Amino acid sequence: MTLSSSMNAGVAGLAANATRLGSISDNIANSGTFGYKRVETDFHAMVVGSGKGTYTAGGVRTSTIRLIDKGGPLVTTSNATDLAVRGRGMLPVTPFAALLAGQANPPMLMTTTGSFHIDELGYLKSTSGHVLLGWPAAADGSVPEQSRVSSAGLQPVRINFSQVIGQPTTALTLLANLPATETIAGAGGDPHDLTIDYFDNLGVPASITATFTPTVPAAGASNEWTLELKDEAQGGLVIGDYTLTFDDTRGGGGTLLSVADNVGGAYDPASGSFTVNVAGGPIQVQVGRIGTAGGMTQLSDIFSPIQLSQDGSAAGTITAIEVDENGFVHAQFSTGLTRVLYQVPLVDVPNPNGLQALDGQTYAVSRTSGAFYLWNAGDGPTGEVVSFAREESTTDIAAELTGLITTQRAYSSNAKVIQTVDEMLQETSNIKR
């Protein structure tokens, strides 16, 4: 029985080291594969039975585990949509073949890195044939709240480069220095005009004419101006009329003292702005806060625009796509506008090493991994999304070659055990002769 168990133990040793050799071979073969996770083989002794004065060899068993929770180093690339995860969490993807097959709910897989490019259909697809998934943003760039324990809200990230988008103006800044000498008795009282461009709801340029008229008193100085705003898109309709009074004291000379509304929305001292209505809707006009620098001023004898600016843009087409560290997919337009199209969450499971490994460095949820949860990148336990980067293989060539040597020696030793048992059994057979 002892010789037989020794033979079995030697055979088990050969099989165990062959398994370890297989994992080492796989690790070495994928030392240059982006996102590859090293496989580790462990040996476990088998105890068949032992008693006083006797021993039976049980041999050895193996178990293999893919160390998915171990991240590889990140390497910089030149592609904006080469993505990697720094820290815990994975990118959600789905097989492109599932989309072509028309599956209503394609499976959600996970990967830690991918080189994504926009294909002929507009999908952001990796070189391994997987499409990035994300939550679509609304027209204003906001992402509605989604379920965190279901992939039903995730959609393939698809970019329409023929899409034309404009952004209406909702806020503008109107800052100027008004000449103090023109509010003194005897001044000419001539108005000063400024034109401010804005964009309507269809991305069409329009303009507002701002007219500053000084109040000329009979004696002394009024330090007062009337600001009249006309919307040229409405045929010069007056949409705002405000009285601006400036401080002439030593401490605050030249700054706004008060703003009175005659036509238009009331002045808000906290924000330093008021709201007027153009043809397409309301626009907030920033003129500065009371008594503070950086707003409208009245100094010296110079009329000078300080800042004339507005948000919004004309209609433009997509020129570039980028993904930020929080997983938001931004489209850059030819007009300089940037808009959020999708948010890519990071998928996390309680036991990443329990995930089912699939082709293309992707993984699927299994019984041993636990249920997934979709996090915003950078929230909770998850890391951040890194663009212009790929994750390298976790294989350490030096360690694998060292393991290869010890595996070879162990395999040879187990073969020697089998050879020795065979010789001993031959000697036993020779006793009969």
Beta bridge partners of 92: 110
Per-residue model confidence as pLDDT tens for the chain (433 residues): 567 777 888 888 899 999 999 999 999 999 999 999 999 999 988 877 656 667 777 788 899 999 999 999 999 999 999 999 999 999 999 999 999 888 878 899 999 999 999 999 999 999 999 999 999 999 888 999 999 999 999 999 999 888 888 889 999 999 999 999 999 999 999 999 999 999 999 888 999 999 999 999 999 999 999 999 999 999 999 999 999 999 999 989 999 999 999 999 999 999 999 999 999 899 999 999 999 988 999 999 999 999 999 998 888 889 999 999 999 999 998 888 889 999 999 999 999 999 999 999 999 999 999 999 999 999 999 999 999 999 999 999 999 999 999 999 999 998 998 888 878 888 777 886 6
**Residue-level pLDDT at 33:** 96
Give residue 369's pLDDT: 96
Residue 55: its pLDDT value, please? 73
pLDDT given at position 54: 74
Phi, then psi, of 373 in degrees rounded to 5: -140, 140
Q: What is the pLDDT of residue 293?
A: 87
What CA–CA distances, in Å, run from 372 to 98, 102, 345, 391, 396?
21, 25, 12, 22, 29
SS3 300: coil
pLDDT, residue 407, reads 93
Model pLDDT, residue 48 = 75
Q: Are 234 and 228 in contact (CB under 8 A)?
A: no
Q: What is the residue-wise DSSP string for 224-272? A: EEEEEEEEGGGTSEEEEEEEEEE--STTTTTBEEEEEEEESSPPBTTTT
Token readout for 259 is 């703003």
